[in-house]
Amino acid sequence: MIAHDRKKESLLGWVSSNIAYLKPHKLVATKTTGDLLLEHIDGLSIATLKSGPMGGDQQIGALIAEEMLDLLIFFTDPLSPHPHDVDVKALTRLATVYDVPFACSPKIANLVVQSGFLGDHR
């Protein structure tokens, strides 16, 4: 799980609302996003990587390339500039190349949950 700064609260709300679906899974997040989720949501187990600009996006991309990630939840902020934009683009490209579902907003993440996909990929 990843969220740009302006989308972190949105991801926190989404995770809180979908905790029952997420708890059975091995979750991975970039550092700042993962720390926020761990601080506010009890009982959630998340492996945190580096922050996005410090290589966390690339670490998530490596997990995709190694076929160790079933779903990318990345709440993006397309209206703000990001100094590591090339890493973000590379990450979304890898999700597409490896056919990993990519939820970039709460409504898309809800569709993934409602589809039953999470139940099929533990």
Query: Tokens 């397309």 map to which residue?
Result: 78
For residues 86 and 78, what is the distance between their CA atoms, to the nearest angstrom? 13
- Whole-angstrom CA distances from 85 to 57, 66, 96 are 10, 22, 17
Alpha helix positions (H), the chain: 8-17, 19-22, 31-40, 56-65, 85-97, 106-115, 117-120
For residues 43 and 58, what is the distance between their CA atoms, to the nearest angstrom? 27
Q: Which residue among the candidates 5, 57, 99, 120 is catalytic per the annotation?
A: 57
Is 57 part of the annotated catalytic residue set? yes
Q: Are 69 and 75 in contact (CB under 8 A)?
A: no
**Where in the sequence numbering do the catalytic residues fall?**
57
